[in-house]
Every structure is written in structure tokens, then in C-alpha cells.
Structure 1
């Protein structure tokens, strides 16, 4: 048994669901191509993912708010052309 599987087996279903959802959100956050090509769609995707996690009940209100703030900050950086430097 690998160490990763040993760790995974220690997670509850709710914890695993939350980790997978947060991983997907962070993958979207790091999507430089979408961020550069269409900042509006980039922000919409991040906000949609945060809202979906909230609907699923895997985030606290503070976590949801923090993800939305981070999405807004990333959108502003994209709009300021920070990715092009």
C-alpha cells in the first residue's frame, strides 16, 4: 500500500470531497491560458466552482468568501495584464 493510499483511507467522504473540490478550484485558478484569453470566463469559472462547493455544503461561509475574494483578485490581476510581464 502506498503512503498516498494510506492517507486517503484516513479521510472521511466529506473530507475527500472537499479536498477534490478545492483541488479542482485551484487548478482553475492556475489556468493561465483561460485567464489570459478571457478573464471574464476565468472569473466566472472560479466563482461557479466556489458557489458549487457552497451548495454542496463542503465549505464554511468564510472559506467560500475567501475563494470568491481570491477569484476577484486574480481577475483584477488578469485585467491589469500582470500575466503578460
Structure 2
């Protein structure tokens, strides 16, 4: 990725860095498992910040929020746990 950074404008580089942070949280399985609500809120907060700064379009903002919502629903459904894990513990 560093190869292309020299070809990016300052706003493009800022957008890329913010999106990298968003996806870093998105992929944080430990946070998602420990606190799905905090995980979801942080993803939404970061998407809103990207929008507030004018770094993403409305469609990109909506897509990030939809991804956050879907990941949250998977988290509260227990998709991060091995199959059968939850049923054995009850």
C-alpha cells in the first residue's frame, strides 16, 4: 500500500487512513465478542466522523453503517463462537 501513497492527495490519504482504522475495528474479533454494543457504536462513530469530515460519500457512509449493523447482528447471534459452544455451556 505504501507504494501508492506518493500518488495520493492529502484528502485521499486521510480517507485511506480513516478507512483503515474503521476496518481495523471491524475485524477486531475480541472487541466484537466481549462487547458487541461497544463494537457497533465505535464502527458507527467512525463512519459518522468520515462523513462529518466530508471524506466519504453518502453511499459510502451508508455502506459502512450497513456493514457495521450486519457485523453487530452476527456478533449478538454468537457467530464468533465455535458451533455448539453456546449450546454446551447452557
TM-score, normalised to structure 2, is: 0.87
Please identify the structure whose Cα radius of gyration is greater: 2
Query: What is the Cα deviation at residue 8 of structure 1?
Result: 1.2
Q: Which consecutive residues of structure 1, in runs of 5 or more, have no partner in the other structure?
A: none
Deviating beyond 6 angstroms after TM superposition, the runs of 4 or more aligned structure 1 residues are: none
Q: Distance in 2 between matches of 1:32 and 1:7?
A: 29
Q: Which consecutive residues of structure 2, in runs of 5 or more, have no partner in the other structure?
A: 83-90
Per the alignment, in what secondary structure is the counterpart of residue 25 of structure 1? helix
- The correspondence of residues 3-18 of structure 1 with structure 2, limited to 5 A, is 4=2, 6-18=3-15
Match status 1:36 vs 2:25? no
The structure with more helix, counted as a fraction of residues: 1
What count of residue pairs does the alignment treat as equivalent?
Answer: 82
TM-score, normalised to structure 1, is: 0.92
